[in-house]
């Protein structure tokens, strides 16, 4: 039966082409997927959790988790996207039927699109903060001022709903413009500029960080193994971050996979993405922590590290205004590449479902995200009171919690289950190009057993069902 299905699929696959064009090269795909993965979490969260959980010891744990959990799910999502060559909803419907199962798997594709929409609705607002701080830093408004002044500046920014709305709107307009231009003219050209620019900015800031006099302290903070700080909870943190940092479970990778040329190796490409994503996170840590340590500041202040702690550090350093501006440009670039990946699955679905032009679909999708984002904008000011909260959380907190802690893990887990258990072995081995050697066997076991159980364990631990 499996062989028959595979033969029928080959007939279909030979005629199935992406309706939106293809990436021009493997490099373009790697840049796009890495851009989708790299975001605020890479810039502050990974360095912070590394330092707090044993430095180099945690890095080793993270690498085990990212290769055992993140990588197989990433490969699964790419192969499913390329196999289907459609938007995530249609891809899951087609593959569900072709693999002799059920077209109801389309709901998994829709689940990912909705998750991406919800995440982008608040991500664009936070990205607006970074854009606003490019101009605040560039104007010198944060230079030479006290920590209290910088803290009150950030508080005032959050309290000004008109300012948040302006930058949220501006960011979505830029995102809509890029995705509206298509795969090669829009997405590819954007990431081919933004990702190298992001990397160059990181290197410039790294050179600046090396001259703080505390660079080796930053290296020690990040990489010196401290196994005493490792705990069962450290493994949960590592698994959770390995999963979320690669942007799996939200349809972005599946949509990008649909544009991947057939002769491109999924395995080597996925490994390159994991390597690039981790490298950028580590470089960000080497940029941030020597600067923080040099100024005797708190490196564990979460999001405040970016908008309160670092501006204080920059304000006290030579050429601080210039490098603070470069840092927030870097942050804005990272946010933009992620936003492009978040909206693309919905865009592909709208185009294929309603036969609209790409420009019209980009406009409609962006407007919907913009409207949803109003909830986040007002969560920090007009709707911050208890009367506007649900389950003790603001609109922003609820959307963030539901999308990040429920929708993404479940989406990734079922993607892994579908690729490992539902898809025919000859289909997946053909798509991965591994044949039946140890690489394919490893992927099968990781996708079928390790990745789903690891994601389930992380979810149960987060909800307190089990205690590590």
For residues 36 and 256, the answer to whether their CB atoms sit within 8 Å is yes
Mean pLDDT of 286-304: 75
Task: Give burial (CB, 10 Å; 0-12/13-18/19+) of 324.
Answer: buried
The whole-number average pLDDT for the span 294-305 is 68
Question: How far is it, in rounded angstroms, from Cα 91 to Cα 96?
Answer: 8
72 touches 444 (CB < 8 A): no
Distance of CA 176 to the CA centre of its chain: 18
pLDDT digits (tens, 9 = 90+) for 377-398: 999 999 998 888 888 899 999 9
pLDDT (tens digit, 9 = 90+) per residue, 116-158? Answer: 999 999 999 999 999 999 999 999 888 888 878 888 999 999 9
| pLDDT band at residue 331 under the 50/70/90 scheme | confident
Which spans in 295-421 are helix H?
Answer: 304, 310-315, 320-354, 358-379, 395-402, 408-417
Burial 380-401 (b: 16+ CB within 10 A, else e): beebbeeeeeeeeebbbbbbbe
Question: Which pLDDT does position 353 carry in this prediction?
Answer: 93
User: With 90 as the cut, is the pLDDT of residue 225 above it?
Assistant: no
Weakest-pLDDT range from 19-33, 103-117, 122-136, 149-163: 19-33
Q: Classify residue 357 as left (phi > 0), alpha (psi -120 to 50) or beta.
A: beta
Structural tokens at position 369: 């995200």
User: Is the model's pLDDT at 76 over the cut of 70?
Assistant: yes
Q: Is the model's pLDDT at 98 over the cut of 80?
A: yes
Are residues 422 and 101 in contact, defined by beta-carbon separation less than 8 angstroms? Answer: yes
Burial of 349 (0-12, 13-18, 19+ CB in 10 A): buried
- Between 362 and 243, the higher pLDDT residue: 362
Write the CA distances from 111 to 56, 90, 98, 175, 391, integer angstroms.
Answer: 36, 12, 20, 22, 23
Query: Distance between CA 247 and CA 269 in Å, rounded?
Result: 15
Q: How confident is the model at residue 27 (pLDDT cuts 50, 70, 90)?
A: confident
Show the domains of the chain with their CATH numbers: 2-462 (1.20.1740.10)
What b/e string do you get for 230-260 counting C-beta neighbours within 10 Å, with b at 16 or more?
Answer: beeebbbbbbbbbbbbbbbbbbbbbbbbbbb
* Calpha distance 361→344 (Å, rounded): 10
Poorest-confidence range of 39-48, 223-232, 316-325? 39-48
Closest CA to 51 of 307, 293, 243, 279: 293
Q: Report how far apart, in Å, the C-alpha atoms of 149 and of each of 126, 146, 308, 311 are.
A: 21, 5, 10, 11
Whether residue 93 is predicted with pLDDT greater than 90 in this model: the reply is: yes
Q: What pTM did the predictor assign?
A: 0.89
Give the percent of the chain with pLDDT over 70: 94
Q: What is the pLDDT of residue 105?
A: 95
Spatial distance between the Cα atoms of 118 and 14, rounded to a whole number of angstroms: 35
Do the beta carbons of residue 409 and residue 115 sit within 8 Å?
A: no
Neighbouring C-beta atoms of residue 460, cutoff 10 Å = 14
Out of 9-13, 72-76, 368-372, 432-436, pick the least confident. Answer: 9-13
Tokens found for residue 224: 């010196």
Task: Give the number of residues written for the chain.
Answer: 468
How do residues 236-257 score in pLDDT, each as one tens digit?
888 778 877 788 888 889 998 8
Look at residue 63 in the predicted model and tell me its pLDDT: 87
Q: Decide: residue 165, CB within 10 A, 0-12 exposed, 13-18 middle, 19+ buried.
A: middle
pLDDT value, residue 458? 82
pLDDT of residue 187: 82
């Amino acid at each position: 039966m499996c062989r028959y299905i595979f033969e029928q699929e080959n007939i279909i696959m030979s005629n199935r082409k992406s309706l939106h064009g293809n990436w021009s090269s493997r490099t373009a795909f790697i840049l796009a997927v890495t851009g989708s993965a790299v975001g605020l979490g890479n810039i502050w969260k990974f360095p912070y959790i590394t330092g707090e959980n044993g430095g180099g010891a945690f890095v080793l744990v993270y690498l085990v988790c990212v290769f055992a959990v993140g990588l197989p799910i990433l490969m699964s999502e790419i192969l499913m996207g390329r196999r289907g060559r459609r938007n995530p909803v249609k891809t899951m419907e087609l593959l569900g039927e072709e693999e002799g199962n059920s077209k109801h798997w389309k709901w998994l594709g829709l689940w990912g699109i909705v998750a991406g929409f919800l995440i982008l609705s608040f991500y664009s607002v936070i990205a607006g903060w970074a854009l606003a701080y490019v101009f605040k830093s560039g104007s010198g408004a944060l230079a030479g001022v006290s920590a209290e002044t910088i803290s009150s500046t950030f508080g005032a920014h959050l309290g000004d709903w008109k300012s948040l709305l302006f930058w949220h709107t501006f960011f979505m307009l830029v995102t809509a413009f890029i995705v509206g231009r298509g795969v090669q003219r829009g997405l590819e050209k954007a990431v081919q500029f933004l990702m190298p620019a992001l990397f160059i900015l990181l290197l410039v800031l790294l050179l600046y960080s090396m001259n703080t006099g505390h660079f080796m302290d930053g290296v020690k903070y990040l990489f010196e193994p401290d196994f005493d700080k490792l705990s069962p909870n450290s493994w949960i943190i590592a698994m959770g971050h390995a999963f979320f940092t690669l942007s799996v479970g939200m349809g972005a990778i599946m949509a990008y996979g649909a544009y991947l040329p057939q002769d491109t190796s999924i395995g080597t490409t996925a490994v390159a993405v994991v390597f690039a994503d981790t490298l950028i996170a580590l470089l960000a840590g080497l940029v941030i922590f020597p600067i923080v340590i040099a100024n005797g500041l708190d490196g564990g202040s979460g999001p405040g590290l970016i908008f309160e702690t670092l501006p204080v550090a920059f304000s006290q350093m030579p050429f601080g205004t210039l490098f603070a501006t470069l840092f927030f440009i870097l942050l804005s670039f990272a946010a933009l590449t992620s936003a492009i990946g978040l909206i693309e699955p919905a865009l592909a679905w709208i185009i294929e479902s309603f036969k609209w032009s790409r420009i019209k679909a980009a406009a409609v999708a962006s407007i919907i995200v913009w409207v949803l984002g109003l909830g986040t904008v007002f969560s920090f000011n007009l709707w911050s009171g208890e009367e506007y909260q649900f389950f003790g959380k603001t609109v922003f907190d609820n959307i963030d919690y539901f999308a990040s802690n429920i929708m993404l893990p479940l989406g990734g887990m079922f993607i892994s289950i579908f690729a490992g258990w539902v898809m025919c072995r000859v289909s997946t081995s053909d798509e991965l190009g591994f044949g039946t050697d140890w690489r394919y066997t490893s992927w099968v076991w990781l996708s079928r057993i390790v990745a789903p159980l690891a994601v389930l364990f992380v979810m149960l631990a987060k909800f307190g069902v089990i205690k590590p």
